[in-house]
Amino acid sequence: MNLDALNPQQRKAAEALEGPVLILAGAGSGKTRALTYRVAHLVERGVAPYRILAITFTNKAAKEMKERITALVGEQGEDVWVSTFHAMCAKILRKDIDKLGYTRSFTIYDDDDQMSVIKELLKQSNIDEKALSPREIKGKISDAKNTLLAPDEWFSASAKDFRCQQIHDIYHQYELRLRNANALDFDDLIMRTLELLADHPPVLEGYRDRFQYVHVDEYQDTNFAQYSLVKLLTQKSRNLCVVGDDDQSIYGWRGADIRNILDFEKDFPDTTVIKLEQNYRSTANILDAANQVIAHNEGRKEKVLWTELPAGNPIKIFCAGDERDEAAWICDRMQQLRISGSSYGDMAVLYRTNAQSRVLEEMLTRAGIPYKVYGGLRFYDRKEVKDIIAYLRCIVNPSDDVSLRRIINQPKRSIGDSTISELSRYAQEKEMPLYSALMDVPEALSARPRKCVREFGELMNELVMSREDMGITDFVKLLIEKTGLRLQYERDLSDEAKARVENMDEFVGAVAEYEKATENASLEDYLENVALITDLDNQENSAQYVTLMTVHSAKGLEFPIVFVAGLEEGVFPSGRSLTDDKKLEEERRLCYVAITRAMRRLYLSYAAQRMLYNQLNYNAPSRFVGEIPSRLLDDEWISKREKSFPGAIEAYSHPVTKRASKQHDPSPMAFGVPKVVMPRRGIGANGNALGIPGVQKGFTPSAAASVPPNAVAALFKAGDRVMHKKFGEGNVTEIRGSGSDARIVISFAAYGMKEFSLSIAPIVKVSV
């Protein structure tokens, strides 16, 4: 092992072996390298490997860290205990859980197991799942355990109303049920370990003596229970080294408490603080932008990322007319980057919510750009969306038994597996589709199942008849309401259920867009269109695809080229954060994470109007866009950005190059109202185009209106970049004819080939 391989701050971290140490590691600063060298240095200095504990947040990270340590110190590195919190606690409990009244062969319940227990308890208590959802109860129990609250303690801290009393009772019964089953859930692993250590001092002393040196990675993501466990284990040795970045604390909604890292020095007043600020990932311009944005947060540790890399390309910011313009622009930029030598595999599009992926996916499909949705399901593969599509397919094609099986008991209507089996047997015997068995219910079914099946058949017949005289958008809305698909989630107060309702609204918006854009649109045509999009899954086998993901999913990753879409007030930052300072600061940290994923190029975009969750919104540009100084932007974009921020006042700070200045820009904008009416499709009141690169005077009735007929065709040539008022940017592929009969053929990223009369086409030439 050679400590000279580290930079000065990394080496300082590796050599600070005694007492509490706080390593503030900025994005891309090599924190894992510093941490593994620190562990290796301890071994080299004579510390027995089995006395060293290193805690990470994923099994993959734990495996990689163990491999790195072993590579540095040899086979003895295998004896270092590198683990996740939950794996460590499970190992401790397997040895001593009998002291808590369990046996060592305890079972660990996963999410589905927990839900089954809760549903059974609700049924026994005669509580309707629609009135009090199992998912909400599970979330409340998890929150309680992460803050170390037993049922009675949780109730004492609650609103103490009837709903809270019901949750308390279920929580209490849930605990009894798990104990009787000799089972623990995931949260129990930490909570029961704390109980074991607190109630049995000899066990605690044994682990305190064993773990003389404790390391915790991603400390900003720890919750109260994890914090308590770490503090308890290190109270004697006080040799605790935590590594993290408060600027990347983005999981508050999952129980992570940023105060754990912010208040570390209060818990350990003699803490050695080491800052890893040299970034090895991003260009200076990208880092400068990240520093300027995050500096507006008050609840943070002071640090500024810097790099020895060159300034790199300026950041590009685009104001789109709407979400389709935005997606088309992103597709076009990707194609231009590929022509210039970049790979689709180098590119990622980040967004705040999963619902934003739908338009992006459609545009990428039309443009022929391969993509993969990472860290979440594709929009059309989400359960609630697939359920709607299955209903529509059954109505279009009653012989589709697969779709019928999916929705016959969705939402639940007391048609169980045995009933479906009997229907299938009967349909097979009669050699007819399963759908027909709904109209000719077999006598073998008892009264209740017969009634439920008959009612479902009547519902389907009603929908089939309604479809005949309705537009497809209105029909889809009717179907969602009549079937109860929406109602089942509206009754559930969990965040997951709210997201499902939002995705249903987004689906309705997609249908409405299709119907508006397609002449004589039919339900059959729309379903074919959807099938085309979802069939692109097989392209995921290729390494050369664009990555689509939420910013939350992108944490810990990096890409040469990053697009961040939807930077508008109410979208990013989210609408729920606009009246809560703590949530707003977490949103800004999320933006910081998004920016620092980029290595070489960064593109930011926002729309003057956006259809999201089937609602048209006119949102102001995100305050985070306004916090990036103009000196970091491409010159071509500065005036456009300033026009899109009416009244913006920007102060300039010193640039970040080899080392970053401690100064930062004050807030350049005041956003008093989150939603404002903005010019549609980027056209200002004076007719000028906003946010369109290279366009100086906006669109005129004809790009060639004032040109003599014989010179019209000379205005453009094959290969020119042009902007069309409706279809966005494209490439000229051909000029046909001459004079007033001249025709121009343009290839658009999102709309394919289009041909126009050159004398009246609303196009202008733009620079690339």
Catalytic residue among 129, 187, 188, 217: 217
Q: Say whether 419 is catalytic.
A: no
Q: Say whether 248 is catalytic.
A: yes
**Over the range 286-320, which residues count as b (16 or more CB within 10 Å of their CB) and which as e?**
bbbbbbbbbbbbeebbebbbbbebebbebbbbbbb
Catalytic residue among 218, 326, 492, 568: 218
- CA distances (Å), origin 101, targets 93, 105, 108: 11, 12, 16
Catalytic residue among 248, 292, 365, 410: 248
- CA distances (Å), origin 695, targets 316, 414, 503, 727: 15, 61, 36, 15
Do 177 and 119 form a contact (C-beta atoms < 8 A)?
A: no
- CA distances (Å), origin 273, targets 13, 360, 566, 657, 752: 9, 43, 37, 24, 56
Do 745 and 755 form a contact (C-beta atoms < 8 A)?
A: yes
Phi, psi of 397 (to 5 degrees): -135, 90
Using CA atoms, how far apart are residues 728 and 324, in angstroms rounded to an integer? 9
Catalytic residue among 358, 467, 597, 640: 597
Using CA atoms, how far apart are residues 402 and 424, in angstroms rounded to an integer? 11
**How many angstroms separate the most distant Cα atoms in the chain?**
97
Using CA atoms, how far apart are residues 624 and 587, in angstroms rounded to an integer? 9
Give the residue from 82, 70, 46, 47 showing the smallest Cα distance to 216: 82
The bridge status of strand 728-736 relative to strand 743-748 is antiparallel
Catalytic residue among 11, 12, 31, 140: 31
Give the single-character DSSP code of 560: E
Q: Say whether 597 is catalytic.
A: yes
Do 585 and 623 form a contact (C-beta atoms < 8 A)?
A: no
Do 661 and 653 form a contact (C-beta atoms < 8 A)?
A: yes
Q: Which helix (H) or strand (E) holds 589?
A: helix 581-595
Torsion of CA 711, 717, 723, 729, to 10 degrees: 170
- CA distances (Å), origin 142, targets 162, 456, 529: 20, 37, 41
Pure H helices in 375-446: 383-396, 401-407, 417-430, 434-439
Tokens of 499: 């997201």
Do 472 and 515 form a contact (C-beta atoms < 8 A)?
A: yes
Do 69 and 40 form a contact (C-beta atoms < 8 A)?
A: yes
* Opening angle at CA 359, ends 602 and 562, nearest 5: 15
Tokens of 503: 């995705």
- CA distances (Å), origin 291, targets 255, 564, 659: 26, 17, 12
Q: Which helix (H) or strand (E) holds 724?
A: strand 721-724
Q: Say whether 31 is catalytic.
A: yes
- CA distances (Å), origin 11, targets 35, 41, 216, 277, 458: 10, 10, 18, 13, 73
Catalytic residue positions?
A: 31-32, 217-218, 248, 597
